[in-house]
Structure 1
Amino acid sequence: MTSDYTQLLNNLETLKLIEIKNRIDEITGLVSSNNISFTEGLLKLTNMEIDHRKESIVRSMVKVGAFPFIKEVKDFDFDFQPSINKQEILELENLGFIDRAENIVFLGPSGVGKTHLATAIGIAAAKRRNITYFIKCQDLITQLKKAKAENRLEDRIKHFNKYRLLILDELGYLPIDKEDSKLLFQLIDKRYEKKSVIITTNINFGEWDEVFGDPVIANAILDRILHHAKVISINGKSYRLKDHINKENKNNE
């Protein structure tokens, strides 16, 4: 009996039925005590394995996303940032914009929650098995420049284009010269009307000429981003100062 049991565990491990292996004693105990039938026991075990695999896929998709932190829409303090329409964000979290290959732009000063919301929507997308990737704009450009220097730019653009949702954080925080702007344009153009992009920026659209150093390229990028886009403008206090402000208020009471 012991050898049969050991062989069973080995077979389950070979077949990579890890959750069944981990839970088999629990379910066989219920079967042995006649609390459930043999068929019900098998059903429970297979359901546990299916649920475990689904959870593993979700965890893998979130890990692939390279998010800077794990925060969801439910973690956002909309009361602190009343300029944001909560219902609008919840609708974006439903991810219809991805099916329509539309973009989202979070526009506002530093610290108001742009990255939090972009990440939260990205995590929602990853959890529903939409391959997603988060990267700071400057890091993206650095990778594209390196790829160009090594004669593999096309492959690198294909790499970033494979993601159904690409999140570009902090566009415009640092100036982008003309040659770098051309690299970014190639990627944006490749994704245009095919796959979604979420962008966070503190630069008003009328000032993009200055950021990109070339009005023609700036307008071309802006045109492709905004043609099918939802723009969320955020005007409010720095979200990072929230705890400090709350502490001051308590001290003044």
Structure 2
Amino acid sequence: MAGRRLTVVLDPHRWLELRRFRPLYESGAMSLREISKETGLNRRTVSKYLKDPSSAAPPKREAAGQRYRRVVDEVAPLIDAMLRSEVLLKASVIHERLVQDYAVSINYQRVKLYLQEARPRIAEELGIGPAELAGLHRRFEVVPGAQAQVDWGDEGKILAHVGISKVYSFHMTLSYSRDPFCCFTTGQDLATFFDCHRLAFAHFGGVPMSIVYDRTKTVVRRHVAPGEAVPLHPEAVAFAGHYDFDVDVLAAYRPQGKGRVERQVGIVRDHVLAGRAFSSIEEINAAFAAWVPLRRAKVHGTHGEVIGHRAVRDHTALRPLPTTPYLVAQRHLRHVGKDCLVAFDANLYSVPARKIRPRQLVEVRATKSQVTLHSTIADRDGQTMLAVHPRAVGRGARIVDETHWDGLPTGAGRRVTTGDDLPSPRRGQPLRAADGPLQALLNRAAAAHVEVSRRPLSVYDELTGTRPFTTNAPTKEAH
């Protein structure tokens, strides 16, 4: 028996654990030495069985009766205590606290691997079901044309240098193919939101059967408790009815339900915006349109097909567009000012003075490009429209139709003069001395030549019966 080595097969648990390190080794996240130290196996044994997956299970250590101890076992009670206080705590947070609060030097991947078996165990101890654990959600697949997902992105001040303070990106992604659409706007109001929908439908060539939203105020009228029916915005209901799709609103705090468009927001930001400078919204939209063919030529990592090929089936299954578009309008009630101006969205719009009164309540209907002002009571002809204006861009603008002020005082009858060119009482005749001193007083230049009589003050004393004041009057001496 001398010179021969007895090979004993490991128990399945340790062999499966060794196999779990293969992705870490192949990606370079852990070295053979670290894996050997973690598993308690010889470095050569780890190298042999990680490099050759078809090999049999590795042999046991010579001290077969001893249980190997991992590095993470030293801090396992500490990690378990953190999980008992918050079972949904992320691995990155636990690793950060181990390093900062407890000065533990440990590889992040070891903490992550330990949590894979520790989290379900601690959850079971706490009586928490598997479906309630963080990060767990049901993956779903859809048929072509069945669903699209919508989301907003905040792109910040990428156009601040041209006077546009904020830029937003609207995203719609077809769930079956992951075919993307994106357009950039300066606002997230109701009219802009659904105008972006129309652009997306034109981009795809049709309408999906349902669209998934989060609880944005342009879709949901108000928030409700979990489990209650979500009240939809009236304009969202009307828009969906016109284009014949179903509105699907996610539960609160469940972004996983629209993860396909959530991922698309970051992809567009990285491939279209990153490292570039733009001077207008149109230029950014053109950059996205130029990038779309590149995206469609990619093989998607989830469904494993070329996005463009799969998008053809998606587009074919979409519902056709209606013959007439539905124009969504914001509707608000506003008071008319004494200057015949109505304030809306930090801008002022005029209404006809002859058709309104001060502080009258009017209805503002605003689309993306137009603002119409309506009376709340129809006139004799059944009409309510008062004025139509182009929608102002930005804030602080005054959109005024000068004819709306017809009939109001213009101030044309007010006059002032310096007195040098006072017109004569009779047109075409110069001022004469015979016109009298009163007329001369009206002329500032002639006032200096008016004769004024002069009398001594004693005359006024005699008229009033008072004794004139004199400085020669006797005074009482002080003792």
Task: Report the TM-score when normalising by structure 1.
Answer: 0.28
TM-score, normalization: structure 2? 0.18
Higher relative contact order (CA 8 A, sep 6+): 1
Rg: which structure is higher?
A: 2
